[in-house]
Amino acid sequence: MASDRGQLRADASDDTLWRSSRSGDQGAFAALYERHASTIYNYLFRRVADWSEAEDLTAVVFLEAYRRRSDAVIVDGKLLPWLYGIATNVLRNRRRAQWRHRRLLAQLASEPGGETGSDVHARVEAAEQMRSVLNHITSLPRAQQDVIALCTWSGLSYEEAAVALGVPVGTVRSRLSRARASLAELESAPGHKQVDMERRRRAER
């Protein structure tokens, strides 16, 4: 019987599960968590570059979603745009981006052995690349950072991002256009090219 209920929940739409959770069905909310937690975690990780911090923030997002369950906005039967909106608001309250980047690199440097030199080099290179991308992103105005993360990284449509951010679709389009133009300028800056050349030289040694 329990397995039958689990299968019914797995097949149910977000809208159906959310209405059940509002009526006190904790199993329905748990099913929504299982369905969307990894997506929200990936979004948060890309914003903070810290695995443990992303896990903590994911928990905060779903606690806040449960607290505000009577205010949920369902878009085309999907809860995810609304969850992205909560995640974005949670991030706005956690403005310690540079400290997180330094902590991530410190963790990579201090982890115990067991990896080969090439493995360590690959991980450090990946961390440097992520830090470079995040440094560019975090140099943008906060509103532009949000649309880049939602539309480019998480693949939301303009309409879904508009719901997540609580702004008109036209505002999403214009912010994304300005953000892309700013990032293109940063990518073409002489300093950025010099850093890339130095990274390639180190990789070839």
Provide the residue-wise pLDDT of the chain in tens; the chain has 205 residues: 555 555 657 778 999 998 998 888 888 899 999 999 999 999 999 888 888 889 989 999 998 998 888 888 888 889 999 999 999 998 888 764 445 445 545 554 454 444 455 555 555 555 555 566 677 777 888 888 889 888 887 888 899 999 989 999 999 999 999 988 888 887 665 555 444 444 444 444 4
Lookup: tokens for 76: 């085309």
**What CATH code would you report for 2-204?**
1.20.140.160
Residue from 59, 14, 36, 71 nearest 154 by CA? 36
pLDDT of 205 reads 45
What residues does each domain of the chain span? Answer: 2-204
pLDDT of 11 reads 76
